[in-house]
Structure formats: C-alpha cells, structure tokens
Amino acid sequence: MLSRPKRAHSSRVVARLLQSLFVVWAAATAAFVLMRLAPGDPYTTRIDVPANERAQWSAQRGFDQPIPVQYVKWLRNLAVGDFGQSSYFKRPVLDVLRDVLPRTLLLMSLALTASVLLGMAIGAWQGTRVGTTGDSLLSTGSLLAYSVPEFWLGILLVQLFAQSLGWLPASGMVSTEYEYLPLSARIVDRLRHLVLPLTALTLLGTSLFARFQRSSMRDAWNEPFVQTARAKGLTERGVRWHAWRTALVPVVTMFGLMFPSLLGGAVFVESIFSWPGMGHTAVLAVNARDYNLAVAAVIVGSVMTVSGSLLADVLQRAVDPRTAA
C-alpha cells in the first residue's frame, strides 16, 4: 500500500499526464478544424487541372464531407496509430515524419545543448562579476545576439562563410559526393554541414540562457548563505558552486520552455540551409493544405511542448527538492 505522500505524488503525475494528453488533443483538434476552414484543399494548387476534375478528386478523398464526419474518421484512424496519407508527399504521414523528425531533433538537441552549456557558463561568470568591464561587454554582446533574427543571421553566415570565404558548405546535410567518400571523410563532411545551421540556432539560445543565468546568479550571489559559506571557510570555487546550484532553477525552467520554441526557429534555419527537417515540412504541409501531415506536425509540436514542460518540472525538482513538496 502506498503511503499518503507517495499516493499524492502518483495522482499528481497522473493528473499531469492527463493534462498533457488534453493539450495535445486540443491542439490537434484545433489544427484539424482550422486547416479545413482555411481556403482551398489539397488539390487547389494543381491549377493546370480543371476545377471540376479537382472537385471530383476532392470528393473521392472525402474532403467534401462535413468537418465533424471527417474528424470522427480521422480520430478513429488515429486511435489505431494511423496518421493517414500525406497528399503532398504521396506517402504515409508516419513515413514522412520518420524521415524529417530525426533531422530536426538532431539539430535542435545539439543547438539546445550548446546553448545551455555556453549560456550557463557565460551567465554564471557574469553573475559573479556584475558591473565589471567583462560583464558589460558580454551583456551587450548577448543583447545583440538576442536581437538578431535567426533567418538574418543564417543568411549572413552563408554569405560570409560559404559564399565569400568558401570555408563551409552553404546547404544540405551532406555533400554531393558524400556517398562516395571514405568513412573518415563522411564524418568530417557531416560535421562541416552542421556548423552553420547550428551556429544560427545556438547563438540566440546562448544569449537567452546567459541573460537568465546572469540574473539568477547575481541574486544568489547576494544571498546571506553565500556570506555564511565564506565565513565557514569554503573556498571561492566552493562558494560559486553553491550559489550556482541555487541559481539553476530559472535556467532549468527556461530549458523546458526553449525546447519547443527551437522548432519554430528551425523553420527559418531549415529553409536557409536547405535542411530537410520538420520545420520546413510543417510549412510545406500548411501551404499545400496537406491536412494529415499538417495536423501530425501540430501533434509533434504539441508533444514537444508538453514534454519540454514536463522535463522542466523534473529538472526543477532535481535541482530544488523544495518544489517537490
């Protein structure tokens, strides 16, 4: 038999999971309805085909049926894991997701990791040196980086490092000759193609984390426990460590919130660097009125959002056990 606190914890977890499920369902339903209310259907842009013929195709696929009828059918299929066919890619939606999602997750996870590590390091350093020249320079730098739009930064990076200097490839995940290179060269090739999109995505995240970390570190640095730790004879490094752990909570929350927002950033970055990932595919699906794929993209986005939020909770409890109470 579970003890009372454990039982309360379990019901909190169940409630949170149900809440997450509701969020995903609500987002998917809203996307389903809005996509069908938007002008056009999957055949609209095939303008070379007479409208009457396109209307016949639409009816064949059931797009002329009332939205509730289409919704029930879609929900029934979804319940058995069938996301349907992509009208644009002419493939099962799951096959398309299987191709594009790992590419975006690779880019996002690397960008997020780099942003967190760099941002925390820079912010923590600044937080203990508030008001110094170094702090001012880094603050100005991070503000500048934060205010630069990702797409503009991406274009700038391509112009400079790919077109002008020719140091790095401008686009794609691998080179044209990739399949015919030896293994070592393939690894290098993949890394070279990651540099520019990753930089574009990381810079914004780093500046954001740095600003949060600096602020929370500065607050923690002025707390009485820091003085106490010093009075107890703890080394300066030890004092910093204690202060940093306390200053982690807002950064961890930010980590969870940043997780889905990177997907938004990936939309621009994927287009500029021709990185065939989820962001670009989602935009394509909406423009092509690829109903099934667009709704699946929303489901993926909402799953990432609730996962980020759950992850933030878990990490928050890990760094600050008081929040678990």
Partner 1 sequence: MTPLRYSRLLAGALVSTLLLACSPEQQPLDTREEGGTVAIGLSGEPASLLPPLVGSDHEQAIVEVLYDRLADIGPALATVGDAGFTPRLASSWQWAGDSMSISFTLDERARWHDGQPVVADDVKRTFELYTNPLVESSQAALLANIDSVSVSPPRTATFWFKRRSPQQFYDAAYHMFIAPAHLLQDADPAELSLAPLGRSPVGTGRFRFVQWNSGDRIEVIADTTNFRGRAILDRVIYRLFTDVGAAVVSLFTGEIDFFSPLPADDLEKAGKTPSLRVVAYPSLKYQLMLMNVRNPASVEEPHPVLGDLAVRRALSMATNRERVVRAVFDSTAGVARGPTTGLFIPENATLRELPFDVAAARALLDSAGWQIAANDSVRAKNGVRLRIEVLVPAGSPNRDRMAVLLQDQLRAVGAELVLQRLEINTLITRLERANFDAFMHGWNMSPGLVGLRQVWTTGSFGGAGNNYGGYRSPTYDANIDSALSSFDPVVAQRTLIRALQTIIDDAPGIWLAEDGAIAGMHERIEPGVLSATGWWHGLPSWRIPADKRNDRDRIGLTPAR
Give the span between the Cα atoms of 173 and 40, in whole angstroms.
Answer: 33
Query: Residues with Cβ < 8 Å from 284, sequence gap 6 or more?
Result: 88, 290
Question: Residue 57, interface with partner 1 (CB under 8 A)?
Answer: yes
Only segment of 24-32, 105-113, 160-168, 254-262 that touches partner 1 (CB under 8 A) = 160-168
Among 32, 83, 88, 221, binds partner 1 (CB under 8 A): 88
Q: Which is nearer to partner 1, 38 or 137 (CB)?
A: 38
Question: Residue 44, interface with partner 1 (CB under 8 A)?
Answer: yes
Among 68, 147, 163, 233, binds partner 1 (CB under 8 A): 163
| Burial readout 188-220 (b: 16 or more C-beta within 10 A, e: otherwise) | ebeeebbebbbbbbbbbbbbbbbbbbbbbbbeb
Structure tokens at 84: 């349907």
Question: Residue 46, interface with partner 1 (CB under 8 A)?
Answer: yes
Question: Residue 190, interface with partner 1 (CB under 8 A)?
Answer: no
Structure tokens at 117: 């590590």
Q: Which is nearer to partner 1, 200 or 312 (CB)?
A: 200
Among 13, 26, 49, 137, binds partner 1 (CB under 8 A): 49
Question: Residue 50, interface with partner 1 (CB under 8 A)?
Answer: yes
CB atoms within 10 A of CB 175: 17
Residue where the block lists tokens 């009485």: 224
**Is the CA virtual torsion 220, 222, 226, 228 positive or negative?**
negative
Q: Which is nearer to partner 1, 3 or 163 (CB)?
A: 163
Give the span between the Cα atoms of 303 and 21, in whole angstroms.
Answer: 9
What is the total count of residues that contact partner 1 (CB under 8 A)? 61
Residue where the block lists tokens 């909190």: 12
Q: Closest distance between partner 1 and the C-beta of residue 150, in Å? A: 14
Helix axes 248-272, 93-127, angle to 10 degrees: 130
Question: Residue 60, interface with partner 1 (CB under 8 A)?
Answer: yes
Q: Measuring CA to CA, how many Å separate 37 from each of 34, 86, 89, 125?
A: 5, 18, 22, 51
Question: Residue 166, interface with partner 1 (CB under 8 A)?
Answer: yes
- Give the x/- contact pattern for partner 1 in 232-261, rule: CB under 8 A: ------------------------------
CA neighbor of 266 nearest in space, from 281, 256, 286, 251: 281
Structure tokens at 101: 């999602």
Q: Closest distance between partner 1 and the C-beta of residue 187, in Å? A: 7
Q: Closest distance between partner 1 and the C-beta of residue 151, in Å? A: 11
The contact set with partner 1 (CB under 8 A) reads 38-40, 43-53, 55-57, 60, 85, 88-92, 99-100, 103, 158, 162-163, 166, 169-177, 179-185, 187-189, 270-277, 280, 287, 289
